[in-house]
Amino acid sequence: MNEGKAGVTLKVVLIGNSGVGKSSFMNRYVNHRFTNMYRATIGTDFLSKTLNIDGHTVTLQLWDTAGTERFQSLGTPLYRGAHGCMLVFDVTSKASFSALELWRKEFLLQAEPQVPADFPFIVMGNKSDLGDREVSSRTALQWCEEIGAHYFEGSAKEDVGIEKPFLRAAEIGLQQYKKHTLENTGHFQITCKQPTETRNTCEC
């Protein structure tokens, strides 16, 4: 099969309140850099990284959204076609964690995935290097279990726990891709089968 060798492009969107560190987190993963000089993302930002997963060359397209409400209208075109969504919050901000449920609902509403209940979410608690945390790992994990999401936490500043959430996002995104590609391919084969049989019958 050529499928294993074919390149696959997966779209993963990072959402969450402004200031939780989405840009820092993404830049640390892709460019291995961190700076305190990030300015607020205006609209969207985009980075990509190529991985090898289960014999597939996967290009992970990471879309960083502005967390301010006035840019939420950009969500409709941006969220559509996503293979995964990363909900990012700041462990030192209870408000940023509480907002995740609203972000998740908004994403499902705008993205219109085929099976909303099965759509893969990754939850990332950033800034774990800071001592004044307001959200415990247990609280975050409990919520993730309720919604069926995968939970990770780490620090973009200290380069801790950065690789795993993105790798998991790529793995479950690839599962989504395969599932829907196979479904679509199946429909295509069923549609094409009848004319082929008819043509063969005529030649006989």
Residue 44 pLDDT: 53
What fold does the segment set 7-203 form as a domain? Rossmann fold (3.40.50)
Sheet holding 56-65, edge to edge: 44-53, 56-65, 7-15, 84-90, 121-126, 150-153
Q: Under a CB-based contact definition with an 8 Å cutoff, are residues 86 and 122 in contact? A: yes
Residue 91 pLDDT: 97
Q: How many residues does the chain have?
A: 204
List pLDDT tens digits, range 42-68.
445 678 899 888 888 999 999 887 654
Question: Block means of pLDDT (10 residues each) for the chain, length 204 residues?
Answer: 62 91 89 65 68 88 68 63 94 97 91 86 95 95 96 94 94 85 46 43 48
Residue 45 pLDDT: 66
Residue 73 pLDDT: 52
Domain ranges for the chain, please list them: 7-203
Residue 76 pLDDT: 60
Residue 133 pLDDT: 94
Structure tokens at 71: 């840019």
Residue 186 pLDDT: 41
